[in-house]
Amino acid sequence: MVFPVYLIGYMGAGKTTVGRMLADKLGWHFVDLDEAFHEIHGLSPADYIRTYGIEAFRKKEKYVVEDLAELPIEKVVYATGGGYPCWEDNMECLKELGTSFYLRWHPHHLAQRLALTDLNERPLLHGKNAEEILSVIMPQLMARIPYYEQADYIIDAPASLDSPLDGTEDEQLADILYDLVNSSAKIG
């Protein structure tokens, strides 16, 4: 496995939460690329998109990922922005830069999880319940899946539609990833 590690997936997949847990377990660095974008450009991704538009954001976001990858540190877990892999050749870039993991969830679960987050930073979803969120995200999610599925590893969230989410899913995902990354890191 080539390091660093990139977590990809739709909004609400837990890239930041799981990534931070995974980095803690591994004793690695953690970088949230949305936060890095904010620090570098002085605006959150949402504010940047509101001010300059999505095209300008994607161009800058691409450079943020590629510039940080120049750092001579391999032991890093990166949480990417949800749309990053679906732009131009970004999935190919990720494959050259490290190992990518797609955190795959059922759309209903993504909508439920998003409904529990602060939606101020997500204007399209603001004020909507899980059912409404689901109908808003479905078309975009469907268009993005072919990109996400190019990841080196697809990790299915440990959740079933038959039972409600119990809040331990992110921790379980971090454990699954830890086992994969740690066993590969030991082999070298």
Which residues make up the interface to ligand S3P (CB under 6 A)? Answer: 11, 15, 34, 45-46, 81-83
In this complex, which beta carbon is closest to ligand S3P, that of residue 11 or of residue 155?
A: 11
Beta bridge pairs of residue 5: 77, 99
In this complex, which beta carbon is closest to ligand S3P, that of residue 7 or of residue 159?
A: 7
In this complex, which beta carbon is closest to ligand S3P, that of residue 4 or of residue 45?
A: 45
- How far, CA to CA in Å, does 137 sit from each of 84, 103, 111? 16, 16, 8
CB 187 → ligand S3P: shortest distance, Å?
31
Q: Which residue is nearest to ligand S3P (CB)?
A: 81
Alpha-helical regions (H) of 106-168: 107-115, 130-148
In this complex, which beta carbon is closest to ligand S3P, that of residue 53 or of residue 179?
A: 53
CB 3 → ligand S3P: shortest distance, Å?
21
Angle CA(149)–CA(166)–CA(147) in degrees, nearest 5? Answer: 10
- How far, CA to CA in Å, does 1 sit from each of 4, 156, 183, 185? 9, 19, 10, 7
CB 71 → ligand S3P: shortest distance, Å?
20
In this complex, which beta carbon is closest to ligand S3P, that of residue 124 or of residue 182?
A: 124
CB 162 → ligand S3P: shortest distance, Å?
27
In this complex, which beta carbon is closest to ligand S3P, that of residue 53 or of residue 182?
A: 53
Contact 5, 22 (CB under 8 A): yes
The residue among 99, 46, 87 whose CA lies nearest residue 63 is 87
CB 40 → ligand S3P: shortest distance, Å?
13
Q: 11 by DSSP, 3-state: which? A: coil
Measured CA to CA, the distance from residue 170 to residue 181 in angstroms comes to 16
Residue with tokens 């830069």: 97
CB 61 → ligand S3P: shortest distance, Å?
7
